[in-house]
Chains A and B, each alone.
Chain A
Amino acid sequence: MSLGFRDVACVRGGRLLFSHVSFDLAAGDAAIVTGPNGVGKSSLIRIAAGLLAPFEGRVACDGDKALLTEAAALDAERPLVAALRFWASLDRAPDPDARVARAVRALDLDALADIPIRLLSTGQRRRASIARVAASEAPVWLLDEPANGLDSVSVARLEAVIARHRAGGGIALVATHLPLGLPGAQEIAL
C-alpha cells in the first residue's frame, strides 16, 4: 500500500491554493499537513480521497481509504453502534461487528453505544467519527482536523489509535492546526 502526490496543484473558485506538493507515504508512514486557515489543507485531504480532481499533477493511492472530515456522516437518529455498523457493513473488510466493537473500545465509546448520535456532544461525535475510520480498518487513513473538539485525554487516545494503525502497516495523512504527536511523521507545510 502507498499514497503518493506528484507535483499536485489545487485550484478552488479560480484561486490557486497550493502547487508542487509532492510526497510519498509507504506502509507505516504518516504525514502531517500544516498551514494557516484557508490554505487548502482540507482540499488536499479531499484530493487524496479522490473527491476532488487535482488541477495539476498526479495522485497515486494503492489500498482502501477511510476519510474523516468535518461532517460526521453518522445518522443523527441512530444509536452510535448502529450508525457505525452501517458504514462497517459497506467496507470491504470482513466481519463488521467485530471491527465496530474493536473501534468502539479503542475510542472508549462503550458507555455511549446505545445513545443516538444527535445527543452526543461535539467531542463525543468527533470520537464517533474517528471510530468510523478505525472500524473500516482500511490501510490509508485521511484525517481532516481529527483533534477538533477533543479534550486532552481523547487527543491521547487518537494518537494511540493512529500509532496502532501505523504499527499494523497503515498510512495516515493528517491535516491539523493543533499539535498532534505522530512520531516520525513527515511535515507537509502548505
Chain B
Amino acid sequence: MQEYLDELNLLFREVFENEDITLTPETVASDIDEWDSINHIYLVVEIEKHFNIKFTSSQILEWKNVGEIVNSIQEKR
C-alpha cells in the first residue's frame, strides 16, 4: 500500500504541478485545489500510463478517496 501511495504522491505532484501535495489514503478531491473534474481525467490517464494498467470505467467511478485508487492499482498489478 505505502509503496504505491508514495509513487502516486510523486505523480500527483507532477500532474498538478504542486510540490506541497501530501497524500493519505483518506485524501479526497476537495482537499487538493487543483483536483477538479477536468484534471481528474488527466490524472486517470497519467496513472494508467505510469503503472501500465487499464482501469474499467465503473472502477474509476466508484473511487471515493486516494485509498481506493491505490486499491484499484494493487488489484490491476
A and B bind? no
- B-side residues, CB < 8 A to A, are none
* Residue positions of A touching B, CB distance < 8 A: none
